[in-house]
Amino acid sequence: MLLGLGLVFLAAASFSIFSPAFNLATNDQWHTLRNGSPHLVVYTAFFYFSVSCFVLQICLNVWFLYRPRAGVPASSIGAYTKDWNGRYWALLAGLLCGFGNGFKFMGGQAAGYAAADAVQVLFLC
């Protein structure tokens, strides 16, 4: 229970600092780069973000398969891949979220990240 609660707070903290950190990584407002160094391109940052999320999600899924929470029996990778009951919706949601994040990053590059965050909040409420 305590580990799950800690995981929820870690995820909330990560999501709350994500957009400001991404803005700093691509725009360098604190001038931490040396003169002449190129800024991080939005597409490169989105690639690193996507790859890191993919790797982290694979690790967490495997961990929770073999060490489940809430009294659920342990499973295996083979059983996970054979059971596609409702997973098509999860796959569709993941693709939709990935495209949404990509469009948000492109909007942040074009109009500024504050405007892109405002549009995202408008559609989430």
Nearest to 105 by CA among 16, 30, 41: 41
73-97 residue pLDDT tens: 998 889 888 888 888 898 899 899 8
Are 51 and 3 in the same domain?
Answer: yes
Are 2 and 61 in the same domain?
Answer: yes
| 104: in domain | yes
Are 50 and 62 in the same domain?
Answer: yes
Residue 61, classified by CB atoms within 10 Å of its CB into exposed (0-12), middle (13-18) or buried (19+), is exposed
Are 71 and 92 in the same domain?
Answer: no
Are 71 and 100 in the same domain?
Answer: no
4-43 residue pLDDT tens: 788 888 888 877 787 777 777 777 778 887 888 888 777 7
Are 114 and 101 in the same domain?
Answer: yes
- Identify the domain containing residue 108 by its residue range: 87-125
Give the separation between CA 89 and CA 120, rounded to whole angstroms. Answer: 22
> Could you tell me the two tokens for 26?
């691509």
Claim: this prediction has a pTM higher than 0.85? no
| 12: in domain | no
